[in-house]
Amino acid sequence: MISIIYVARDAPMYLGTFYEFSSIFISILVLIHCYKMRGKYDTIKIYLIGMIYGLILENGGPLILPQFGFEGFFWENNYKLYLFEFFGYGIRISKVPIATHLGWPMVFYIAIIFWEQICRAFPKIKHHTIISGLIISSSGLMFDLPFDIIATRFNWWVWNENLLPLWFGVPLVNYLAWFWAVFMFGYFWTVLHNKKEKNNWSESKLTKNLAIVVPLIWILDTIGFVLSKELFNLFGLIYI
């Protein structure tokens, strides 16, 4: 039996400040680790390009455009630090807090490391880009699966009341979004790294090419998400 609990969009968070600042602190530690262990270009690919990609996607969640059928999936309203708005002062240019933005490259980094370790044990997987994308995506999902339950219970983000809270209060649409976002990033990561080996690209060229294909990654991610959402909605698994 599914328990449905409606929460106001501006509901107070529990341990919200602790989560926000600890998340930023951990993200900075992971950034330092990435730079020291992998160097400048991987850090740019994961922590700059990956974060920009995540920023675009994450801001689609709270987007409300009734004329186009967008009613918002979730909201993150009570944080202290947003892009260019700090403690309520400034101009907020993103509806998503800095802590969430920094979480995207951290998930990408962990998922890519997981994939690399599997490739060491099974080297042929590295050249199967779809399988590699699925491995990277499943790793990201395993990271997010329990975390979103806590975030939902503590009101760190609040879901649209029309979404079916399928997994301990978390709508299925959340995990569909995560799957496609990480899968597409992981897929193109492996495609471009394979091309680098085959064509002897420099790290600089590889990084530029990843930046160039970000719009394509976003478009394919959006198509995959919308189609899968509509498919699952046919079985009554998206909306109440």
pLDDT value at position 95?
A: 87
What is the Cα gyration radius of the chain? 18
pLDDT at 43: 97
**pTM, 2 dp:** 0.91
User: Residue 85: inside a domain, yes or no?
Assistant: yes
**110 lies in a domain?**
yes
Q: Considering the domain boundaries, does residue 4 fall inside one?
A: no
Query: For 137, phi and psi rounded to 5 degrees?
Result: -65, -45
Residue 2 clears pLDDT 50, i.e. is over it: no
177 domain-assigned: yes
Query: If you ran DSSP here, which 8-state letter would residue 34 be given?
Result: H
| Domain housing 92 | 16-234
The number of distinct structural domains making up the chain is 1
Q: How far apart are CA 229 and CA 226, in angstroms?
A: 5
Whether residue 3 is contained in a domain is answered as: no
Tens digit of pLDDT for each residue in 58-81?
888 877 666 555 678 888 888 999
Q: Both tokens of residue 177?
A: 């979004």
Does residue 213 lie within any of the structural domains?
yes
